[in-house]
Amino acid sequence: MFESISGRLGTALARLRGRGRLSEADVDEVLGDIRTALLEADVSTEVVRAVVARIRSRAIGAAPSPALDPGQQVVKIVRDELVALLGGETLAIRYASKPPTVVLMAGLQGSGKTTSSAKLAAWFRAQGRNPMLVGADLQRPAAVEQLQVLGESVGVPVFSQPGDPVETARAGVERARSLGRDVVIVDTAGRLAIDEELMRQVRDISAATSPMYTFLVVDAMTGQDAVQVARAFDESLAISGVILTKLDGDARGGAALSVKEVTGKPIAFAATGEKVDAFEQFHPDRMAGRILGMGDVLTLIEQAERTFERGQAEEAAARLMEGRFTLDDFLEQLQQLKKMGPLSGVLGMLPNAPKEVKDAAVSDAMVASAEAIIRSMTPAERAAPEIIDASRRQRIARGSGTQVQDVNRLVKQFTEMRKMMKRMGGGKKGARGLDQALGGWMPGR
Amino acid sequence: MALRDRLGRARAAVSGAVAGALGRGIDDAAWEAVEEALLRADLGVATTGRVLGALRRKVEAREVDGSAGLVAALREEMAGHLAGAERAMRMGAVAPSIWLVVGVNGAGKTTTIGKLAAQQVAAGRSVVLAAGDTFRAAAGEQLAEWARRTGADLVRGADGGDPSAVVFDAVQRAAARGADLVIADTAGRLQSNANLMEELRKVRRVAGKGPGEVAEVLLVIDATTGQNGLVQAREFAEAAGVTGVALTKLDGSAKGGIAFAIESELGIPIKVVGTGEQVDDLVAFDPAEFVAALFDE
Ligand SMILES: Nc1nc2c(ncn2[C@@H]2O[C@H](COP(=O)(O)OP(=O)(O)OP(=O)(O)O)[C@@H](O)[C@H]2O)c(=O)[nH]1
Ligand SMILES: Nc1nc2c(ncn2[C@@H]2O[C@H](COP(=O)(O)OP(=O)(O)OP(=O)(O)O)[C@@H](O)[C@H]2O)c(=O)[nH]1
Ligand SMILES: [Mg+2]
Ligand SMILES: [Mg+2]
């Protein structure tokens, strides 16, 4: 079988550098820094240990990357691992078959439960629901008033009554049912994970309201304590997910990783400010970069990978000018085109190509049709298009769902283009010819 | 759980968590156990490194007596970092004294003000609370409830109004009434928010215009805070001239080691400790007690 350009180039480059697979020394050198970075980001020591061990075994013996040096490659493996750890299963919100759908909010003091309750209510409203808020924090001064003000600002009614929080929560759900409200969000008082009495109380609230979702609200500035908190709340309440707050600050937010690692529950939402609209879906990739902190290195890695892709394109351009360009290369470039935008791959690299060519807009449909035609060819046909006779043409057209004329046009123009390129590569002026050759190289243009 | 009870357990636990690994003498595992304990207490990589470095020098100079001695030496080393600081809440030379309370969102500012007010009222001082958080929903009501509980006076402004105007107003009124102390609440703000930090600068400036004297700018740090606490301390100190730290929520499972890092790295003394949500749950900071509790498991 034929190899893709990237495959060929990859092995070549690796051989050039004379490097084998990532060695233990390569990996350990970088993992020391990674460990420090994670600890400085407040990832808990036990989670750091587990994650670093996992990354180590994955990284040692990994095939060398053609684009990155070993250090960069390990960092990239770490980043990818963190993205996977933080992401994974997402929380798809479903609704109770017998309304209302109850959502319980729990967490430490001051983590952001009340604010997030109002934000969540606004979110449910945006989903076309009719939420209601229940203030079951009867403990902190003015907690109910706070919820009332916030509820008003998002246009969601708030229920509360003095007395016992468990009773208040139960009555709130009842009230929602009688009013035909289909979602109830129950805000509870802040509590410490080690406060047995208050943990029992929130369990009672949960039992009295049968929540479909229980969110643990976690402050992104939390340090090592995050694991204890997550474990205790998850054991008591079987949380469904986490809301990570105060992400508008500059905390690295390693608590996200700790909480996800010990509970396995998804981080559902990110709160990014005090205002009620500062609430969004959680992005594992952004969070991974933030926790790792190595902004410079991560940028460098991206650049290196981009440069590598550009290197591939240059190589293809050279082959093109030497007339060694095949339809496989052409297909590869089409795929790059889709990633990079209009003709920025091989054509953009050509020294004398006129601006119109470099900027020529290529529609998705044209690319798709050309791709289909080439994919319907055998490797031999791709390498030497002159063997494509009438019966092959018909087969290719059928296989690609195009017309025989389309196949003809592509092959003809590809062949002309290759000729023209070769001439140009040989030092002759070929800009005009190139322009003509490319003028109609796409079927259906 | 009261801090004292935790302390009892802490003493027992030190010989468990740390000393347990030290039984074999000071080998790599012992050092790792100590490092782990410090990191888990949120001291941070740099501060942990400094503490361990000093400890290693003592061991090398044979000032440490075996493994059992290491725990004692560690405590002594850490207590040494916290020695000599002035921890009393200061009153100004001219009345009214002004205590400005600042910090990130949800740290415990308003609650700490309630507790401080109770202590000062109990000490026979007349206290005015300034509701300088005009932004957060029902922040004024929350402080009003603390004023009611403690018998302090309250000065409020309009919701969404200029916080420095409220503080200015409170200071003027306190002076007119001959009150001893103004404790000013401020809205929670993340130190990365330049506009809000600028607003805080202005509050600090206006509070210092006189009459009276800004005697304390208290930074409230939640004991669950991780390494961002150091950044908080640096930025709030730069904007408002922080004079001390109130370490809250130490009744939880978090150790509050970031406050140790703040004091030892930046020289800002920890002054008071919050140990619960009730009015009496505020105690003076005790370095020895704190250091022992850092290793509580
Ligand atoms: N900057 C920022 N502040 C937030 C965010 N979420 C909440 N806050 C603020 O954090 C503080 C505490 O938020 P609350 O919603 O009262 O927290 P809580 O968990 O209900 O607090 P308790 O009921 O006292 O336990 C308030 O000042 C909020 O405005 C956020 O995403 N970013
Ligand atoms: N367990 C415990 N809870 C505390 C302590 N201090 C404050 N809290 C709780 O922490 C939560 C936040 O306290 P607040 O005083 O509202 O915090 P704040 O800094 O004024 O918050 P914002 O004004 O919203 O930024 C409340 O639920 C308090 O009851 C403490 O020492 N221990
Ligand atoms: Mg609340
Ligand atoms: Mg407050």
pLDDT in tens, A382-402: 888 888 898 999 999 998 888
Q: What percent of chain A has pLDDT over 90?
A: 51
Q: How confident is the model at residue A20 (pLDDT cuts 50, 70, 90)?
A: low
Q: State the closest ligand 2 atom to the C-alpha of B104, by its place in the atom list counted from 1.
A: 25
Quick: pLDDT tens for A139-164.
Answer: 999 999 999 999 999 999 999 999 99
Residue A428, pLDDT > 50, answer: no
Quick: pLDDT tens for A24-54.
Answer: 887 887 888 889 999 999 999 999 999 999 9
Q: For position A1, what pLDDT does the model report? A: 27
Instruction: Please tell me whether residues A346 and A273 are part of one structural domain.
Output: no
In a domain, A95, yes or no: no
Residue A445, pLDDT > 50, answer: no
Q: State the closest ligand 2 atom to the C-alpha of B276, by its place in the atom list counted from 1.
A: 32
Dihedral sign of CA atoms B150, B154, B160, B165 in order = negative
Q: B55 and B79 in contact (C-beta within 8 Å)?
A: no
Q: For position A152, what pLDDT does the model report? A: 97
Q: For position B63, what pLDDT does the model report? A: 79
Q: What is the mean pLDDT of residues B218-232?
A: 98
Q: For position A426, what pLDDT does the model report? A: 53
Residue A297, pLDDT > 90, answer: no
Residues B155 and B151: their CA atoms lie apart, in Å, by 13
Instruction: Please tell me whether residues A252 and A158 are part of one structural domain.
Output: yes
Between residues B144 and A334, the one the model is more confident about: B144
In a domain, A445, yes or no: no
* Length of chain B as a residue count: 297
- Omega prior to B269 cis, within 30 of 0: no
- In this structure, the residue with its CA closest to atom 21 of ligand 1 is A110
Instruction: Please tell me whether residues A249 and A122 are part of one structural domain.
Output: yes
Residues A47 and A27: their CA atoms lie apart, in Å, by 19
Range of the domain at A149: 101-294
Interface with chain B: mutation pick from A47, A196, A221, highest number of B CBs within 10 Å: A221
Q: State the closest ligand 2 atom to the C-alpha of B273, by its place in the atom list counted from 1.
A: 31
Backbone angles phi, psi at B186, to 5 degrees: -135, 160
Q: For position A338, what pLDDT does the model report? A: 61
Between residues A79 and B279, the one the model is more confident about: B279
In 3-state terms, what secondary structure has residue B102? strand
Nearest by CB: A142 against B141, B188, B223: B141
Are residues B104 and A249, on separate chains, in Cβ contact within 8 Å?
yes
The residue from A294, A317, A338 where one domain ends is: A294
Q: What is the mean pLDDT of residues B148-154?
A: 98
Q: How confident is the model at residue A62 (pLDDT cuts 50, 70, 90)?
A: confident
CATH number for the domain spanning A44: value is 1.20.120.140
Quick: pLDDT tens for A252-270.
Answer: 999 999 999 999 999 999 9
Pocket test for ligand 1, best of A105, A108, A109, A115 (most atoms within 8 A of CB): A115
In a domain, A329, yes or no: yes
Instruction: Please tell me whether residues A352 and A420 are part of one structural domain.
Output: yes
Residue B192, pLDDT > 90, answer: yes
Residues A213 and A233: their CA atoms lie apart, in Å, by 13
Please give the ipTM for the structure prediction: 0.92
| Structural domains present in chain B | 97-242 (3.40.50.300)
Q: How confident is the model at residue B25 (pLDDT cuts 50, 70, 90)?
A: low
Beta strands in A170-308 (DSSP E): 183-188, 213-219, 241-245, 267-271, 279-281
In a domain, A91, yes or no: no
Instruction: Please tell me whether residues A39 and A181 are part of one structural domain.
Output: no
Ligand 1 is surrounded, with C-beta below 6 A, by A 107, 109-115, 137, 140, 143, 189-190, 217, 245-246, 248, 271-274, 278; B 105-106, 136, 188, 190
Say which DSSP state A222 is in: B
Q: What is the mean pLDDT of residues A297-309?
A: 76
- Chain B residues touching residue A255 (CB < 8 angstroms): 226
Between residues A72 and B239, the one the model is more confident about: B239
Torsion angle, alpha carbons of B183, B186, B188, B191, to 10:
-100
In a domain, A8, yes or no: yes
- In this structure, the residue with its CA closest to atom 9 of ligand 2 is A109
Query: Which range among B34-48, B52-66, B142-156, B202-216 shows the weakest confidence by mean pLDDT?
Result: B52-66
Q: For position A337, what pLDDT does the model report? A: 58
In a domain, A94, yes or no: no
Instruction: Please tell me whether residues A115 and A235 are part of one structural domain.
Output: yes
Q: What is the mean pLDDT of residues A389-417?
A: 87
Are residues A108 and B252, on separate chains, in Cβ contact within 8 Å?
yes
User: To the nearest whole number, what is the mean pLDDT of chain B?
Assistant: 91
Q: How confident is the model at residue A439 (pLDDT cuts 50, 70, 90)?
A: very low
Burial A143-154 (b: 16+ CB within 10 A, else e): bbbbbbbbbeeb
Are residues A219 and B136, on separate chains, in Cβ contact within 8 Å?
no
- Chain A residues touching residue B107 (CB < 8 angstroms): 110
Quick: pLDDT tens for B82-123.
Answer: 999 999 999 999 999 999 999 999 999 999 999 999 999 999
Kindly identify which residue of chain A lies nearest to residue B255, measuring between CA atoms: A225
In 3-state terms, what secondary structure has residue B210? coil
Q: For position B130, what pLDDT does the model report? A: 98
Per-residue tokens: A279: 């609430």
Between residues A345 and B252, the one the model is more confident about: B252
Per-residue tokens: A397: 């057209």
The residue from A85, A118, A134 where one domain ends is: A85
In a domain, A90, yes or no: no
Q: Which ligand sits closest to the CA of B113?
A: 2
DSSP per-residue codes, A147-192: HHHHHHHHT--EE--SS-HHHHHHHHHHHHHHHT-SEEEEEE----
Q: Which ligand sits closest to the CA of B109?
A: 2
Instruction: Please tell me whether residues A341 and A376 are part of one structural domain.
Output: yes
Q: For position B160, what pLDDT does the model report? A: 94
Q: For position A305, what pLDDT does the model report? A: 77
Between residues B64 and A87, the one the model is more confident about: A87
In 3-state terms, what secondary structure has residue B127? strand
Question: Which residue type sits at A336?
Answer: Q
Q: How confident is the model at residue A86 (pLDDT cuts 50, 70, 90)?
A: very high
Domains: count for chain A: 3
Residues B230 and B227: their CA atoms lie apart, in Å, by 6
Residues A243 and A187: their CA atoms lie apart, in Å, by 13
Q: How confident is the model at residue A372 (pLDDT cuts 50, 70, 90)?
A: confident
Q: How far is the CA of B28 from the centre of ligand 3 (A)?
A: 45
Instruction: Please tell me whether residues A165 and A209 are part of one structural domain.
Output: yes
Q: For position B62, what pLDDT does the model report? A: 78
Q: For position A49, what pLDDT does the model report? A: 94
Q: For position A441, what pLDDT does the model report? A: 38
Q: How confident is the model at residue A19 (pLDDT cuts 50, 70, 90)?
A: low
Residue B14, pLDDT > 80, answer: no
In a domain, A79, yes or no: yes
Per-residue tokens: A124: 């449910």
The residue from A294, A326, A359 where one domain ends is: A294
Q: What percent of chain B has pLDDT over 70?
A: 90
Residues A210 and A193: their CA atoms lie apart, in Å, by 21
Please tell me which of A58-67, A394-403, B26-35 the model is most confident about, judged by mean pLDDT.
A394-403
Q: For position B65, what pLDDT does the model report? A: 74
Q: Which ligand sits closest to the CA of A116?
A: 1
Residues A423 and A321: their CA atoms lie apart, in Å, by 7
Between residues B210 and B284, the one the model is more confident about: B284
Residues of chain A in Cβ contact (below 8 Å) with chain B:
36, 39-42, 44-45, 108-112, 139-142, 145-150, 153, 192-194, 219, 221-226, 228-229, 246, 248-252, 254-255, 274
Q: How confident is the model at residue A111 (pLDDT cuts 50, 70, 90)?
A: very high
Residues A387 and A69: their CA atoms lie apart, in Å, by 43
Instruction: Please tell me whether residues A130 and A55 are part of one structural domain.
Output: no
Query: Which range among A73-77, A100-104, A403-407, B149-153 shows the weakest confidence by mean pLDDT?
Result: A73-77
Smallest Cα distance from A175 to chain B, Å: 24
Are residues B222 and A221, on separate chains, in Cβ contact within 8 Å?
yes
Q: For position B259, what pLDDT does the model report? A: 98
CATH number for the domain spanning A214: value is 3.40.50.300
Burial A218-240 (b: 16+ CB within 10 A, else e): bbbbbbbbbbbbbebbbebbebb
Nearest by CB: A194 against B45, B105, B253: B253
Instruction: Please tell me whether residues A312 and A401 are part of one structural domain.
Output: yes
Query: Which range among A41-50, A90-99, A189-198 shows the weakest confidence by mean pLDDT?
Result: A90-99
By CB neighbour count within 10 A (0-12 exposed, 13-18 middle, 19+ buried), where does B224 fall?
Answer: buried
Task: Give yes or no for B228 touching A (CB within 8 A).
Answer: yes
- Chain B residues touching residue A225 (CB < 8 angstroms): 42, 223-224, 252-255
* Length of chain A as a residue count: 445
Count of pairs with CB atoms under 8 A, one residue in A, one in B: 141
Residue A130, pLDDT > 90, answer: yes
Between residues B193 and A355, the one the model is more confident about: B193
Instruction: Please tell me whether residues A286 and A194 are part of one structural domain.
Output: yes
Residue A358, pLDDT > 50, answer: no
Instruction: Please tell me whether residues A405 and A355 are part of one structural domain.
Output: yes
Q: What percent of chain B has pLDDT over 90?
A: 80
CATH number for the domain spanning A386: value is 1.10.260.30
Residue B144, pLDDT > 60, answer: yes
